[in-house]
């Protein structure tokens, strides 16, 4: 019997497989495609995703292959979002084709022991009290496998979600935009955005001499998502929206995309769970789709491993649904708001876009939305004590360390240098094994003897860190880089008691 069967070898399924393998869980991933998709559906890797990869020592593999983009957009607002303000180790969005992302994630997942089977797909499921029977089709032949748990990471048309009886309510497409991955003879020198009565236009490099162009034209936005898109139409739309066609040629991919928006009614049905696009779909505004899915997998991985291995407290696995559904709902809301700005056509709508652009020029508002788009401020349901520290429940960010005791395992010399640089400033090197981390920040070594708990001592660079960290004497960090508890007490006994109470929410 398999421990976990994952349907779908996209970024979410591959990352989940690797996270489970950190805890020794046996994982098989099945994927109906024979090879990774050469089209780059997702081309924006947000700072929050890079920070997640950094907690496992992997971020530099992606940074080396991508193009850093220091600013982002909110809809068609003319004021850009400044990612330098978000408190991330990598304060930028990384332009990187999804095909490269999948290649690197598959190498990682297979390297840590996951099994990936291509040209195979789950077609039906039946659940029992202790296992799931999954029927898998491969080369026209059906076979049945048993797994303790099944996770659907198989996209918006998820066969796993349907077989589990999980509803997927929402709205169908009512308007469409277009995108084109092309070479340009007259490329912009920086990410480009344009707005006007004709609609909205974006252009950004995605590597290998290719630019992603995306537009929403008020004249064509009611064309069907399945209607073919030609290079000539892209030229016409670009001229109408931008005033020139940038010398586009040699298209790699042309497509229309719609605003269909749906979310799974629940993320768990018995021993079946869903993540990524199988759990939510929304208009691709701000490059958030893949990034939200990666956070789904990071949240789910350690909780499912803990459940399998018997160290999860009651309700831990259910908290995956409790935490991740509101996070996706917040993204759905902001993508709908962005779409309203993209599609602005009436004088009133255009005025709204102008007012919002002016609002984003205010530094606090700009930082708030830069953090949200980058993936750092997704909401977590209230459940902490009334006197909990403001950091409780947030993602680790804005903490700069003076001299942590870091032990890193690296391969190439470049990886070693990158790891050494990170070790000088962040808690990421302590998190490579995916265990809860207790970080002692005043040198008293708070005693919390729990098997599997990482404990390290470091000191805070108070000048470089955000002010909220300056009185913190110890912090307990979950495997997904969420802060479970932050203490300011200088008494080691009281602090240990607070830490142990928080630990009971993570493990028995």
CATH of the domain at 328: 3.50.50.60
* Token pair of 459 as six digits: 């000191």
Within a domain: residue 196?
yes
Domain count, the chain: 3
Distance in angstroms (rounded) separating the CA atoms of residues 299 and 394: 13
| Together in a domain, 15 and 112 | yes
| Together in a domain, 207 and 279 | no
| Together in a domain, 148 and 254 | no
According to the model, what pLDDT value does residue 5 have? 98
Distance in angstroms (rounded) separating the CA atoms of residues 57 and 79: 34
| Together in a domain, 436 and 314 | no
| Together in a domain, 9 and 121 | yes
| Together in a domain, 104 and 142 | yes
According to the model, what pLDDT value does residue 405 have? 47
According to the model, what pLDDT value does residue 57 have? 94
| Together in a domain, 240 and 297 | no
Within a domain: residue 80?
no
Structural contact between residues 243 and 122, judged by C-beta atoms closer than 8 angstroms: no
Domain end point (choices 235, 258, 281): 258
Half-sphere exposure of 317 (CA within 13 A, CB side): 19
* Token pair of 161 as six digits: 């979600």
Distance in angstroms (rounded) separating the CA atoms of residues 104 and 472: 36
Pairing of strands 280-281, 437-440: unpaired
Q: What string of DSSP letters covers 235-251?
A: HHHHHHHHSS-TTEEEE
Secondary structure (3-state) at 117:
strand
Domain housing 472: 413-503
Number of H helices, E strands in the chain: 12, 25
Domain end point (choices 258, 281, 300): 258
According to the model, what pLDDT value does residue 451 have? 65
Distance in angstroms (rounded) separating the CA atoms of residues 503 and 477: 10
| Together in a domain, 162 and 269 | yes
Distance in angstroms (rounded) separating the CA atoms of residues 413 and 419: 10
According to the model, what pLDDT value does residue 384 have? 56
Within a domain: residue 115?
yes
Within a domain: residue 13?
yes
Domain end point (choices 307, 338, 369): 338
According to the model, what pLDDT value does residue 422 have? 46
Within a domain: residue 353?
no
Within a domain: residue 350?
no
Within a domain: residue 149?
yes
What letter does residue 462 receive in the DSSP assignment? Answer: T
Within a domain: residue 375?
no
Return the sign of the alpha-carbon dihedral for residues 464, 467, 469, 470: positive
Distance in angstroms (rounded) separating the CA atoms of residues 99 and 93: 17
E strand residue ranges, 208-310: 210-217, 248-258, 261-263, 268-269, 272-274, 280-281
* Token pair of 343 as six digits: 């599609």
| Together in a domain, 125 and 266 | yes
Structural contact between residues 310 and 286, judged by C-beta atoms closer than 8 angstroms: no
Secondary structure (3-state) at 336:
helix
Q: Bridge partners of 71?
A: 82
| Together in a domain, 131 and 186 | no
Secondary structure (3-state) at 271:
coil
Half-sphere exposure of 163 (CA within 13 A, CB side): 24
- CA angle at 444 for the pair 439 and 445, rounded to the nearest 5°: 50
According to the model, what pLDDT value does residue 43 have? 85
Q: What is the pLDDT along the chain (508 residues), one digit of tens a residue?
A: 999 999 999 999 999 999 999 999 999 999 999 888 777 677 889 999 999 999 999 999 999 999 899 999 999 898 999 999 998 999 999 999 888 999 999 999 999 999 999 999 999 999 999 999 999 999 999 999 999 999 999 999 999 999 999 999 999 999 999 999 999 999 998 878 888 888 899 898 888 889 999 999 988 899 998 899 999 999 999 998 888 999 999 999 999 999 999 999 999 999 999 999 999 999 999 889 999 999 999 999 999 999 999 999 999 999 999 999 999 999 999 999 999 999 888 889 989 999 999 999 999 999 999 999 999 988 777 665 566 899 999 999 999 998 644 444 444 555 455 444 444 588 999 999 999 999 989 877 666 666 667 888 888 988 889 999 999 999 999 999 999 999 998 888 888 888 888 888 888 7
Structural contact between residues 443 and 457, judged by C-beta atoms closer than 8 angstroms: yes
For residue 321, the tally of other CB atoms under 10 A from its CB is 18
According to the model, what pLDDT value does residue 219 have? 87
Distance in angstroms (rounded) separating the CA atoms of residues 26 and 48: 27
For residue 209, the tally of other CB atoms under 10 A from its CB is 11
Q: How many residues in total does the chain contain? A: 508
| Together in a domain, 307 and 435 | no
| Together in a domain, 230 and 152 | no
């Amino acid at each position: 019997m398999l421990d976990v069967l994952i349907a779908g070898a996209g970024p979410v399924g591959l990352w989940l497989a690797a996270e489970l393998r950190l805890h020794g869980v046996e994982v098989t991933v099945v994927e109906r495609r024979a090879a990774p998709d050469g089209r780059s559906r997702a081309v924006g890797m947000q700072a929050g995703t890079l920070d997640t990869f950094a907690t496992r020592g992997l971020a530099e593999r992606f940074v080396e292959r991508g193009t850093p983009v220091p600013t982002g957009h909110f809809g068609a607002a003319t004021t850009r979002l400044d990612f330098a303000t978000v408190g991330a180790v990598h304060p930028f969005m990384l332009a990187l084709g999804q095909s490269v992302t999948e290649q690197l994630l598959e190498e990682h997942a297979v390297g840590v022991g996951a099994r990936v089977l291509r040209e195979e797909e789950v077609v039906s499921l039946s659940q029992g009290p202790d296992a799931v029977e999954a029927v898998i089709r491969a080369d026209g032949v059906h076979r049945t496998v048993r797994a303790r748990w099944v996770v659907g990471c198989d996209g918006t048309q998820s066969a796993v979600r349907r077989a589990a009886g999980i509803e997927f309510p929402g709205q169908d497409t009512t308007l469409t935009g277009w995108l084109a991955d092309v070479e340009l003879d007259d490329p912009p020198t920086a990410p480009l955005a344009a707005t006007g009565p004709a609609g909205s236009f974006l252009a950004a490099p995605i590597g290998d001499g290719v630019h992603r162009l995306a537009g929403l034209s008020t004249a064509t936005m009611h064309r069907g998502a399945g209607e073919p898109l030609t290079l000539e139409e892209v030229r016409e739309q670009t001229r109408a929206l931008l005033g020139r066609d940038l010398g586009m040629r040699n298209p790699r991919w042309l497509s229309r995309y719609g605003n269909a928006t749906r979310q799974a009614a629940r993320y768990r049905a018995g021993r079946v769970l869903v993540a990524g696009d199988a759990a939510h779909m929304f208009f691709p505004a701000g490059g958030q789709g893949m990034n939200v899915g990666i956070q789904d997998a990071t949240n789910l991985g350690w909780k499912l491993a803990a459940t399998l291995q018997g160290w999860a407290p009651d309700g831990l696995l259910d908290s995956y649904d409790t935490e991740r559904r509101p996070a996706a709902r917040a993204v759905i809301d902001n993508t709908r708001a962005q779409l309203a700005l993209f599609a602005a056509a009436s004088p009133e709508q255009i005025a709204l876009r102008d007012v919002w652009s002016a609002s984003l020029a205010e530094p606090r508002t700009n930082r708030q939305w830069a953090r949200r788009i980058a993936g750092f401020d997704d909401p977590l349901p209230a459940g902490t004590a009334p006197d909990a520290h403001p950091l409780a429940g947030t993602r680790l960010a804005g903490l700069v360390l003076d001299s942590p005791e870091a032990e890193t395992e690296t391969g190439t010399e470049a990886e070693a240098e990158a790891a050494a640089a990170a070790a000088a400033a962040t808690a990421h090197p302590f998190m490579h094994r995916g265990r809860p981390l207790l970080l002692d920040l005043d040198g008293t070594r708070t005693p919390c003897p729990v098997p599997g708990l990482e404990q390290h001592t470091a000191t805070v660079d108070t000048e470089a860190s955000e002010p909220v960290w300056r009185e913190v004497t110890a912090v307990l960090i979950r495997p997904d880089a969420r802060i479970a508890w932050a203490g300011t007490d200088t008494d080691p006994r009281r602090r240990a008691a607070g830490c142990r109470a928080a630990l009971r929410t993570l493990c028995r």
